[in-house]
Copies of this chain bind each other. A is one copy, B any other.
């Protein structure tokens, strides 16, 4: 039972791609669906594994780049130097700042849309655009499995 809204069928995904005047290719549809179903930010590797063989790694990289450039997804970098991607919800599609949580145990990154990101006052001469707000710690699942030991 995914917490996210019901996953879109292929036709809806294809429409979303066509709305950007781009070609609805199998790779794009597959990645889009996967990110839509995922409740956390996924890395290229995780996406590759989830989709199995059938798509070249470079194709997946390019699909992810395209998703970010087109504004459908956004990219965050984790402590292990790997990019993680999550679908931009209508809420954060407008580049609204939102917080992230990275679990040190399992390495997953979660989008915390509920938490407001404070906008700080900057030193003179500095002009801020985006704010990154990331909490590191242990996620609910890893916290639980640690209790069981």
Stretch at the interface among A12-20, A24-32, A51-59, A132-140: A132-140
If A121-B115, A123-B140 touch, whether A131 touches B129 (CB-CB below 8 Å) is no
**Which residues does chain B contribute within 8 Å of A114, judged by CB atoms?**
123
- The 0/1 profile, CB within 8 Å of B marked 1, for residues 103-124 of chain A is 0100000001011101011111
**Which residues does chain B contribute within 8 Å of A131, judged by CB atoms?**
133-136
**Contact status A126-B132, CB under 8 Å:** no
Interface of A (DSSP majority class): mixed
Does A101 interact with chain B (Cβ within 8 Å)? yes
**Contact status A128-B124, CB under 8 Å:** no
If A121-B115, A123-B114, A123-B140 touch, whether A129 touches B101 (CB-CB below 8 Å) is no
* Given A130-B137, A132-B132, 12 further pairs, Cβ under 8 A: A99-B120, A101-B122, A115-B120, A116-B120, A122-B137, A124-B140, A126-B135, A126-B137, A130-B136, A131-B135, A131-B136, A134-B134
